[in-house]
Structure 1
Amino acid sequence: MTEPKVVASRYASPPDRRQLWQAAIKWPMYAVAVMPVLLAAGWRFGRAEPVRLDQLLLFLLAAVLLLAWENLANDVFDADTGVDTHGKPHSLVNLTGRRDRVAWLANGCLLGGLALMALVAWRSSPAVLGLVLACCGLGYIYQGPPFRLGYRGLGEPLCWLAFGPLATAAALVALAPPSAGAVLPWRAALELGSGPALATALVLFCSHFHQVGEDGANGKRSPVVRLGTATAARLVPWFVAASLALQWAPVLVGPAALRWPPTALLGVIGLPPARRLIGLLSQHHHDGSRIGGSKFLALRFQALSGLGLALGLALGRWWG
């Protein structure tokens, strides 16, 4: 029997470990997991269509478990390549020194999340499980061997696809009555999920800035490594503008019968953290010690703009 792989836990004196554990849990990141189903619920409620609350709760719990698997598995895969050895003391592998236990926990979250999604699919349509499995597949090839597409700079498009049309389509089908799940609502999923998913991709994009040196040294060719921090920082306003434009386009253009209510423009509440993010990276993109929190500003933009859109769509039920 082989001995479990143990990674030395040499980070942080005891007074710092509480903060490191909080960073390792990454609880704010779960806003990206729950956003597709919250958007689907707001969209259906605003159109006076039934929203199955039991399915909503099951989907939320399953989505959280599946993102936990993604985060834990990424820590394991990054430990294998060495990219997190020095630059990420809050990696669970580094904190615990036990790669094997983190891997077991990751697999447990995956099995639990898929079991719940299978229940959601059984109560709605098999397409839900198929779409979620596709999302999980994209999550694996992002960091998992032998693919590791995130190391080739492809993490952001994979993120957009998984958290955008695929997850949103699954959520729309899951919340609908079982008889409505025969045809996948691709148009609605694209309109509803594209803008918020681009904001989710921005969170991933901003997570590269403070570790660009370590990534480059370990062969992780993230977009920020490829472009350089100055050029990458100039792209952030375009991420924000494109995300909001995709949210607002169904309100402002297109056939009147298909337009979203003006209340859907509430996604604008995400602009304040977006402006702070743009200012921070434009001035300090080269200083990793000052921009470590940039991904959390991006996350606030993602969460606020997405929640604003979901609420605005729900309020459309009473518009006009």
Structure 2
Amino acid sequence: MPSPASEPQVVASLHADPAQRRRLWKAAIKWPMYSVAVMPVLLAAGWRAGQALPVRVDQLVLFLLAAVLLLAWENLANDVFDADTGVDTQGKPHSVVNLTGRRDRVALLANGALLLGLLLMALVALRSSAAVIALVLACCGIGYAYQGPPLRLGYRGLGEPLCWVAFGPLATAAALLALAPVGEGGVPWQAALELGSGPALATTLVLFCSHFHQVEEDAAHGKRSPVVRLGTGRAAALIPWFVALTLAFEWAPVLVGQWPLTALLGAIGLPPAQALIRLLRQHHREPDRIVGSKFLALRFQALNGLGLALGLALGRWLG
């Protein structure tokens, strides 16, 4: 049953008209968000293809499925934990807990996604390296520490650096190992840092932008996100730096000759990034107008990452 703190929002979500409920469920599923889950392994595949190294397609498919399931766990568990703290009471009618009114069933579904995702990752590790499951477990531990009791590090403003670590060097190293032949070598930390740093910063930007429209609700429930701490004006001023540093991490290997010029294809993500910068610079104080800012950040993340992966792969033939 829903917790008392979330009950008003649960009632509103349950009694919405059918068209509105369809919109709420679409928002709850968050299918565009899964680009952040699949990007590390797509980047790893593009990098290996560009280096004329073999890419194990069966491992790629298994890793993709497992990553989607693990992000589904993260999203569902976040709804469950936020229902416990009451932070979703006012501003999130599309929370799965609010839509179903059943915290217990959502928690069960989240744990099922976690178990299945880890089983698939264990299979990937069995067919490549035991380090894969160790790295993925570290990512899951970070995901829990971000949202789960007793740590709830996201409530202390630490979600963004944790996000970068999980989706950057850890997930990228796991993906590189998963796609490599058995016994190719140890954990490729240098390649993972070079390949994952920029795209992970774009992923972190998605999380950062998700706070702008709910500053008052977060502050009222003790969630000290970076946007709550900085204020929307100063936080909006950081968006160009996120974009610039993402591209700097990705273009530096091109400038020193380690990556081909085609890796600059990551710049196809710039149009939504520019739209995001303008939106938050002009309307950061208007929650209703910036509620979709995280989806502009997500478009930047997806296009940037796909462009980089494709550019790395094409460099072998066009370089």
The TM-score by the shorter chain falls in which range? over 0.9
Corresponding residue for 2:313?
Answer: 314
1:35 maps to a residue whose letter is M
Offset of residue 317 of structure 1: 1.0
Q: 2-side partners of 1:53 and 1:139: how far apart?
A: 27
Corresponding residue for 1:79?
Answer: 83
Deviations along 1:225-278, one digit per CA (max 9) or x if unpaired, are 00000000000000000001101110012xx4xx10000000000000000000
Unaligned runs of 5+ in 1: none
CA contact (8 A) 1:163 1:193 kept: yes
Corresponding residue for 1:9?
Answer: 11
2:243 maps to a residue whose letter is V
CA contact (8 A) 1:65 1:109 kept: yes
CA contact (8 A) 1:267 1:304 kept: yes
Are 1:51 and 2:50 an aligned pair?
Answer: no
Specify the SS of the correspondent of 1:84. coil
Q: 2-side partners of 1:62 and 1:141: how far apart?
A: 20
Corresponding residue for 1:301?
Answer: 300
Deviations along 1:17-69, one digit per CA (max 9) or x if unpaired, are 00000000000000000000000000000111000000000000000000000
Q: Which runs of structure 2 are paired with 1:141-220 in the superposition (5 Å)?
A: 141-180=145-184, 182-220=185-223
CA contact (8 A) 2:198 2:248 kept: yes
Unaligned runs of 5+ in 2: none
Structure 1 residue ranges (4+ consecutive) displaced by more than 4 angstroms after TM superposition: 4-7
Q: What RMSD in Å do the two structures reach over aligned CA positions? A: 0.9
Corresponding residue for 1:249?
Answer: 252
Q: 1-side partners of 2:250 and 2:292: how far apart?
A: 25
Deviations along 1:100-133, one digit per CA (max 9) or x if unpaired, are 0000000000000000000000000000000000
Q: 1-side partners of 2:60 and 2:159: how far apart?
A: 28
Offset of residue 5 of structure 1: 4.8
Offset of residue 86 of structure 1: 1.1
Specify the SS of the correspondent of 1:196. helix
Q: 1-side partners of 2:51 and 2:303: how far apart?
A: 22
Specify the SS of the correspondent of 1:219. coil
1:13 maps to a residue whose letter is D
Q: 2-side partners of 1:205 and 1:40: how far apart?
A: 25
Of 96, 99, 104, the residue aligned with 1:95 is: 99
- The alignment's TM-score, normalised by the length of structure 1, stands at 0.96
Q: How many residues align?
A: 312
CA contact (8 A) 1:132 1:167 kept: yes
Aligned-residue identity in percent:
78
Q: 1-side partners of 2:39 and 2:251: how far apart?
A: 17
2:105 maps to a residue whose letter is R
Deviations along 1:143-190, one digit per CA (max 9) or x if unpaired, are 00000000000000000000000000000000000021x411000000
